A and B are shown apart, each in its own frame.
Chain A
Amino acid sequence: MMTKNKIPEDSPLTIAGQEFTSRLLLGTGKFKSKSDVAQCISLSGTEIVTVALRRIDLERHDENILEYIPKQVTLLTNTSGARNAQEAVRIARLAKESGYGNWIKIEVINDSKYLLPDNYETIKATEILSAEGFVVLPYISPDLYVAKELVRAGAATIMPLGSLIGSKQGLKTKAFIQILIDEIDLPIIVDAGIGTPSQAAEAMEMGAAAVLANTAVATAGHPAVLARAFSLAIQAGRLAYLSRLSQETKNAAASSPLTGFLYET
């Protein structure tokens, strides 16, 4: 129980029994340079980053992203490219072969216009991979019934989208994310469409467990500086949530006393 007006020591973000201090997850896609990734990790203090699995380019010798990610950071491989549960399961099993752990972000998308996840294929993939011992973090359009199925299927968290991937439109799905936060007993990690630190703070004020950002940071003029801003905003939002903010009202309520005016009204 919190002592009134005392800044609380927050409980850590706990996923599959592992504890984390940072509530910022960072995507590593779209960066102009891989050294930016390293600096973002360093300046933001993020402890979980996402990566993807792809064919090696046989003609070019690209730098290895893993050389820019410190060993103590948890790698969360996504199943991007998967169009159905079967493909997501194949990607996950291949990713596990890398030796960098068994955390998997299920991302099943077969529409290139909106990049919306297929919630039902995501449930199927979660069931299979969770049974195989993977730590499964499924990415979905926020839907209470889908989330309940994912809990039953063994998901470690739920990752509802705030808005379309890369759009930076913020929390378009706010009301539906709030339902998940209120009804689902798993960490809710808002992922996709978070364009600004203020949007990330807003998600945390609602009670989200964490926020994942990628495009906004990767495409900023100074990615590492923005990554730090995200980290601070997420801390502020979390503290605001813990302070038990009062709700907004429709009408005004004066902030100064309504008696003792200098001028009679």
Chain B
Amino acid sequence: MIVSLNGQKKEFSGPLTLKNIVEKFCQSGPQVIAEVNGKIIKKESWDSQEVKNGDCIELLNLVGGG
């Protein structure tokens, strides 16, 4: 399946959960904020959120800013 992850096209062979993706790409797990197809997904639901073909995933965190 192909998903958009932080604006980049990524190809994965499923099945995958949002938690799998966060663990694969993000070091600071506890600080990650996740949005799938415009909807905020709470941390406790990452394990049950199945990643589907065409999903638009945003993984965000807080950084230095003014």
Which positions in A face B, CB cutoff 8 Å? 27-31, 34, 37, 50-56, 58, 61-62, 64-66, 75, 77-78, 80, 93-95, 97-98, 100, 165-166, 192, 212, 214-215
Contact = CB atoms under 8 A, between A and B. Distances in A.
Given A55-B58, A58-B5, A31 B27 contact: no
Interface of B: 5-8, 25-28, 31-33, 35, 40, 42, 58-66
B33 A58 contact: no
Given A52-B65, A95-B62, 16 more contacts: A28-B64, A29-B66, A34-B64, A50-B65, A51-B63, A53-B63, A56-B6, A56-B59, A56-B61, A64-B28, A64-B31, A66-B62, A80-B66, A97-B42, A98-B31, A98-B61
A30 B65 CA distance: 7
Nearest to A64: B28
Contact of A54 (B25, B61, B66): B61
Contacts of A51: 62-65
Contacts of B26: 56, 58
Contacts of B28: 56, 64
Contacts of A65: 62-64
A52 B27 CA distance: 19
A165 B31 CA distance: 28
Contacts of A100: 62
Given A61-B27, A64-B28, A94-B40, A54 B35 contact: no
B61 to A, nearest CB: 5
8 contacts: A27-B64, A56-B32, A93-B40, A94-B60, A100-B62, A165-B66, A166-B66, A215-B66
